[in-house]
């Protein structure tokens, strides 16, 4: 029992009357180790309390000698036929309102409530009465709060963890949607329970602060993103092609055929020849004396002219374009005989234009051969090769030759 009542009784007498006085003893000072362990001793009028050291107690001043309760004993007091707490009124007993008559011993912090025949002393909200003292109730012991509870004298308050706020009942915690309350995300915000996440659009990386978004330079990651050139842009990248090419899809480049689109500058008497990255304008009649033009791109040297004796009978003009840095050896052009004499043997050779041995001829059969690129070449560059077919007929003791004059244009790029 935390309450022990110890009082000294003192009797004071005056002429014709005596009064009884009770003097409080401070047990916390007079009793050695009045409270054990983690309990603390609190003295109060008529006793003492052993309470936890964290307890808050509203103490009242000890009654002075003038205000100490006394029970007057009149030597000539009339007999009261009513029980304690009542007074005689005529032939009946009526209740005495001790609160109104200030005949109670409630502490200043307590409220006096009159009851039939007596009274009670009530503590304020948030306190419980132990003995005659009001002791703070630690509401946090009862886990009223969902997250954190803060006890204060006579009351308590609830607090929430970051990312939450108190609900209408002031006890529960509900999630805060930071995305709707101005979260510092630069691009995208995703609310989650108790927090939020920042995310970036495609083409951006989340910064070290977790809020900002930084552009990703995709072009710096690889040189193979674009066939020609990569251009970084905010949140993305694009591919561009050199002059004379157009974008095929999003990454590849293809040659623009200026001869078909009509964007060439060839004049009258010229023929447009499309090549990688551009075009060439060549004369429609490229036959030189003693050769005469007999059809488009074909010249012959008439046998009736003496100067044609040691020259090829015919020259056919052809044009082709290849890319730079082509893998080698590489077949690039096939030669095919258009007319064959019975019993004739045909051989093929490069008559002119291959001074650096960058090409060679591989004969396939008696009527065809393949021009092979032997070394890697880089453009822009132009080769003019005279590919000769020599025909020998032992039956009629006849030999003739014809030339295919091939203009090979090497483009400036590997595409």
**What does the chain come to in residues?**
415
236 neighbors 225 (Cβ within 8 angstroms): no
- The model's pTM is 0.58
pLDDT-derived band at 6, boundaries 50, 70, 90: very low
99 neighbors 82 (Cβ within 8 angstroms): no
Summarize pLDDT for 177-200 with one digit per residue, the tens. 999 999 999 999 999 999 999 999
Of 294, 337, 310, nearest in space to 399 by CA: 310
**Preceding amide of 380 cis, omega within 30:** yes
Cα angle value 63/64/67 (rounded, 5°): 80
Over pLDDT 70: what percentage of the chain? 88
pLDDT-derived band at 37, boundaries 50, 70, 90: confident
Summarize pLDDT for 135-170 with one digit per residue, the tens. 999 999 988 999 999 999 999 999 999 999 999 999
pLDDT-derived band at 24, boundaries 50, 70, 90: confident
- Which helix (H) or strand (E) segment is 372 a member of? strand 368-373
231 neighbors 215 (Cβ within 8 angstroms): no
- Distance in angstroms (rounded) separating the CA atoms of residues 392 and 195: 92
Summarize pLDDT for 291-346 with one digit per residue, the tens. 999 998 999 999 899 999 889 999 999 999 999 999 999 999 999 998 887 888 99
């Amino acid at each position: 029992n935390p309450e022990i009542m110890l009082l000294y009784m003192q009797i004071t007498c005056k002429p014709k009357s005596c009064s009884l006085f009770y003097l409080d003893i401070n047990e916390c000072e007079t009793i050695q180790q009045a409270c054990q362990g983690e309990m603390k001793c609190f003295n109060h009028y008529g006793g003492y309390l052993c309470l936890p050291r964290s307890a808050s107690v509203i103490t009242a001043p000890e009654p002075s000698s003038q205000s100490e309760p006394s029970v007057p004993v009149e030597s000539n007091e009339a007999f009261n036929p009513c029980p304690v707490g009542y007074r005689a009124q005529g032939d009946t007993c009526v209740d005495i309102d001790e609160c109104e008559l200030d005949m109670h011993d409630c502490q200043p912090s307590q409220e006096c409530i009159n009851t039939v025949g007596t009274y009670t002393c009530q503590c304020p909200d948030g306190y419980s009465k132990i003995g005659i003292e009001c002791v703070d109730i630690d509401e946090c012991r009862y886990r009223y709060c969902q997250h954190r509870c803060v006890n204060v004298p006579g009351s308590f308050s609830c607090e929430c963890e970051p990312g939450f706020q108190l609900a209408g009942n002031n006890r529960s915690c509900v999630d805060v949607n930071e995305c709707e309350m101005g979260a510092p995300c630069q691009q995208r915000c995703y609310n989650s329970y108790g927090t939020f996440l920042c995310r970036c659009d495609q083409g951006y990386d989340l910064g070290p602060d977790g809020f900002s978004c930084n552009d990703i330079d995709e072009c710096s990651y690889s040189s193979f993103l674009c066939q020609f050139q990569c251009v970084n842009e905010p949140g993305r990248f694009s591919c561009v092609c050199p002059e004379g090419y157009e974008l095929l899809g999003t990454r590849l480049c293809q040659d623009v055929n200026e001869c078909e689109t009509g964007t060439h500058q060839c004049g009258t008497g010229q023929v447009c020849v499309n090549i990688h990255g551009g075009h060439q304008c060549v004369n429609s009649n490229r036959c030189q004396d003693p050769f005469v033009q007999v059809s488009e791109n074909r010249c012959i040297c008439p046998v009736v002219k003496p100067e044609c004796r040691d020259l090829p009978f015919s020259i056919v003009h052809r044009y082709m374009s290849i890319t730079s840095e082509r893998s080698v050896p590489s077949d690039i052009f096939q030669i095919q005989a258009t007319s064959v004499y019975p019993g004739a043997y045909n051989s093929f050779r490069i008559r002119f234009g291959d001074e650096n041995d960058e090409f060679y001829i591989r004969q396939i059969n008696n009527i065809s051969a393949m021009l092979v690129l032997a070394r890697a070449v880089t453009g822009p560059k132009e080769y003019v090769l005279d590919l000769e077919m020599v025909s020998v007929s032992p039956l009629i003791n006849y030999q003739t030759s014809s030339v295919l004059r091939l203009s090979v244009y090497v483009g400036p790029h590997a595409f």
